[in-house]
Chain A
Amino acid sequence: MKSKAAGLPLGYRLAVTSRCLAALVGGYLLAAMASVCMGLLLPMPKAEAVITGMMLSFLFYLVAILWSFACRTAAQAWLGILLPSAVLALINGLAYWMNTP
């Protein structure tokens, strides 16, 4: 799994690459969506909500990274990150639309 890199099948390597991308790119997307959501919806003044959202977003990023490597397959890793991101994006869209006069 580790130092025998030369003997690893291509499929395994692609799966690891895919998980890394899910962790880094997908994780960032999830964290950004979560921070926007908190910035829009937290019941506090705007600046404070934005700061709180940014601070907590890194925990979402962390969990997304751990998830990407903990789950059974690479496809599952993507699903577990993109699905909540999409839900958050929907909430964000609604909240933004309702806030805009």
Chain B
Amino acid sequence: MKEGFRQSMAWLHTWAGLVFGWLLFAIFLTGTLSYFKAEINHWSQPEIPSRALNSAASLDLAQRYLQTHAAGAGSWFIDLPSEREPELSVSWRPAGGGRGDSTQKVLDPATGSELQARDSRGGDFFYRFHFQLQMPHPWGRWLSTFCALMMFVGLITGIITHKKIFKEFFTFRPGKAQRSWLDGHNAIGVLVLPFHLMISYSSLVIFMALVMPASIAVSYNNDTRAFFSDVFGIPQSVKATGKAAEPLPLSTLYAKVQEQVPGARIAWVEVQNPGDENARVRVTRYSGDRIAHLRGGGWLFDGVSGTHLSSDFADTTPMLISGGFYGLHLGEFAGPVLRWLYFFFGLAGTAVIGTGLVMWLGKRQLKHAKSGVQPFELRLVEVLNIASMSGLILAVAGFFWANRLIPAFQEGRADAEINTFFLIWGLSLLHALLRPGRKAWGEQLAVAAVFYLALPLINAWTTGQGLNHSIRVGDWSMAGFDLTALGCGLFLYWAARKMLLPPVVAPKRAPKVAKAAALIESEVK
């Protein structure tokens, strides 16, 4: 750290990247999958059919179902289907009950009859994992937010290190081992730099009240609730009078919302004190209707008279900025094209982290290439690299296999899927320990390629909703999943081939490699 500013920043980039790279790779990959959370959910519960959307009709069907099955409940929740996720789900709680007391049912959005769908966390598993890391609350959120800070540090130090950033962007020298990795790392890093900066800074903003609560403690005398009710407005709950009253059909209230904001999409509806004189209906707008993600918005109606009681809060600039970062991170507003762009940017972020880890190791292995004996710490990094990258990719495929192969109505199958995921991840670590580096990479990537290529077949075989069916009926969430799996499989096949075939570096080019190594030595300290 005595060498000067750029060198010390390069040092920080290298070491922060190594220590947090493995976890960041997992966070980025599962986070990238989460851009297609709804589609993965749909794929994971093939029993729920895709229907033409009709929110008003679905609301009335749900209301009728709840009046029959949950008339005495304290509150109802109705989660409406969207273009991306066909599920209409209803849940209810007894009066005074908490989240744990709620009962949930999935309905057919066209008929209102109860559907039996397989129990699966689906896309929500990857979504939750990417910021909770399967750890007890709040430790996973703390750790993942800290990783985001390290990503932020890595980006800024990376920019400082590569001062010739735009010149280097146009430099790509393929087929030159270490040099190509560095060029790739830089090119992908620079190409999607705005996305990277947004995604890492917005992660900090999303959990700021959790990880940086000092100012709430001081300004609100340690009363976090007071802060949140100041910001979002805590909905006032009204006591039930005990007198029954005929409720309005929810579609009437839906029509009122459409009158106020034509084309507004509704995410969910909450009914407090259903069937009572004091029934209250809160209609919450789909957060993808605008970029900024703000809680607490929506319309509150009297459920009997239909009087509009209150609606959105005025948005102040700081809230719009923080909500804007939140919304940009989640990307719920994105249409299909932008969503795919988000997906590829997420993959690019994953690739930047992965290439960085590979480079850290490759550069140091060069020094031991002649003797063929690796020091313990390099072997450790190698094993962790393999397990955290190809192992995770394999485990994700394993989760989807488990979703199709565990019997649809077996007890505890949702947990079994998650256990399969971690079991395969663990096995990949064991495999990486037992096999030499390049072989371990190649074998895991090859198995992963088979896993992904076979997914559409297993889907067709177990559910009858393979590509031939989904494309014909226009179920593009289902078809998109299968096609993406095929694409991943082909990419992994290519990568596995590269690893398993002997490297193509001809002996006469050896001096060049040494020169490249010297170059890298001078650039990435």
Interface mask (A77-99 → B, CB under 8 Å = 1, otherwise 0): 00000000000000010001000
How many angstroms between the C-alpha atoms of A49 and B321 in the bound complex? 13
Selected from A35, A46, A70, the residue in CB contact (under 8 A) with B214 is: A35
A50 to B157, Cβ gap below 8 A? no
On whether A53 and B156 interact (CB within 8 A), knowing A19-B1, A69-B9, A70-B8, the answer reads no
Q: B230 is contacted by which of A35, A47, A96 (Cβ under 8 Å)?
A: A47
Interchain CB contact (< 8 A) of B212 among A35, A49, A65: A35
B208 near A55 with CB under 8 A, answer yes
Least CB distance from B377 to A in Å reads 7
Q: Which residues of B contact A96 (CB under 8 A)?
A: 218
Residue B186 is within 8 A (CB to CB) of chain A in the complex: no
Q: Which of B149, B218, B230 contacts A39 (CB 8 A)?
A: B218
Asked whether, in the complex, the Cβ of B2 is within 8 Å of the Cβ of A48, the reply is no
Residue from the set B212, B316, B319 with the largest chain A CB neighbour count within 10 Å: B212
Given contacts A45-B316, A51-B319, contact A69 B214 (CB under 8 A): no
User: Are A54 and B152 in contact, with the CB atoms below 8 A?
Assistant: no
Measured between C-beta atoms, what is the minimum distance from A6 to chain B in Å? 8
Q: Which residues of A contact B318 (CB under 8 A)?
A: 44, 48-49, 51-52, 55
Which residues from chain B contact A54 at a C-beta distance below 8 Å?
Answer: 205, 208-209, 212, 215-216
> Which residue from chain B places its CB closest to the CB of A5 in the assembled complex?
B377
Residues of A within 8 A of B153 (CB): 62, 65-66
Q: Chain A 39-77 against B: per-residue CB contact (8 Å), 1 yes, 0 no?
A: 110001111111111110110011001100110100000
- Contact across chains for B5 and A50 when beta carbons are under 8 A apart: no
When the two chains form their complex, are residues A55 and B157 in contact, meaning their CB atoms are under 8 A apart?
no
A66, B319: Cβ atoms under 8 Å? Answer: no
Range of interface residues on B (Cβ < 8 Å): 35 or more
Interface pair A47/B9, CB less than 8 Å apart = no
Q: A36-B215, A58-B212, A69-B9 are in contact. Are A51 and B1 (CB under 8 A)?
A: no
Question: At the interface, yes or no: B172 with Cβ under 8 Å from chain A?
Answer: no
Assess whether A38 is interfacial by the CB under 8 Å rule.
Answer: yes
B15 partner residues in chain A, CB cutoff 8 A: 2
A57→B220 CA distance, assembly (Å): 18
Residue pair B219, A1 in contact (C-beta under 8 Å): no
- Interface assignment of B317: CB less than 8 Å from any CB of chain A: yes
In the complex, the chain A residue whose C-beta lies closest to that of B153 is A65
Across the two chains, which residue of chain A brings its CB closest to B200? A58
Residues of chain A whose beta carbon lies under 8 Å from any beta carbon of chain B: 1-3, 5, 16, 19, 31-33, 35-36, 38-40, 44-55, 57-58, 61-62, 65-66, 69-70, 72, 92, 96
* Pairs A–B under 8 Å by Cβ, sample size 24: A1-B525, A2-B15, A3-B378, A5-B377, A32-B212, A35-B215, A40-B219, A44-B318, A46-B230, A47-B227, A48-B319, A50-B215, A50-B216, A50-B219, A50-B227, A51-B318, A53-B215, A57-B212, A58-B149, A58-B208, A61-B149, A65-B12, A66-B153, A69-B12
Q: 5 closest A-B pairs (Cβ-Cβ)?
A: A39-B215, A32-B214, A54-B208, A47-B230, A35-B215
